Amino acid sequence: MIYKSDTRDYLLRARGMLDENKPHTLFYAALELRFGIEARLRKYLNIINELSEKKKKGWQIAILDKNIESIFRQGNKLVKLEFFDSYQNRLGELIYTPVSKKLVHDGEKLGELLHSNSHYKTQIKNWFEETQVFLEKIYLELELANKGTLLGPPLFHPKLNRFDFAIEYFEGYNPQEIHVKAGGFGAQIIMKLSYPEKL
């Protein structure tokens, strides 16, 4: 049996639990969402050479987010990297979608659902309906964080006089398309960096 543990795997399992719409599956959906947030943050952290392994392996999502911010310093900004040939023909784009501060904040609240609940909490009127709505919002935020194809904004290294960035491979996405469209050896590629408000 294979257990997949990519952030998108957690997201997929959470969707299944939420769709069952049963009281007990909400707790399992919360667990999958919590794991998904942590996995996405760690994916961003793993490409940062400047961070120690200890800082990459934590489990507290607020601390993981703080460690990412200490290097990227992007806040909640989306980053779009577009590629053009020397004739200004657009070749493709890559996008960095951060784990938003709202998602980090709400993800921390999931801890309340991951422990044995007192009898009184689940007896509160509309508690399950409100919890379902809360988890659906988290799901949408995490889904957005997983739409990106960049594992962080491009980082400029002054000593090396170059930009570094990492591309994520996942099912249905082929970053090789940019290289194929760019032309042969020695072809010039122009890179444009922008910070869109939304996707």
For the stretch 110-147, pLDDT in tens is 988 887 765 556 677 788 899 999 999 999 999 999 99
Q: How far is Cα 189 from Cα 47, in angstroms, rounded to an integer?
A: 24
Confidence of residue 180 (pLDDT cuts 50, 70, 90): very low
Among left, alpha and beta (phi > 0; psi -120 to 50; other), residue 152 is left
Task: Note the pTM of the prediction, 2 decimals.
Answer: 0.84
For residue 181, what pLDDT is reported?
52
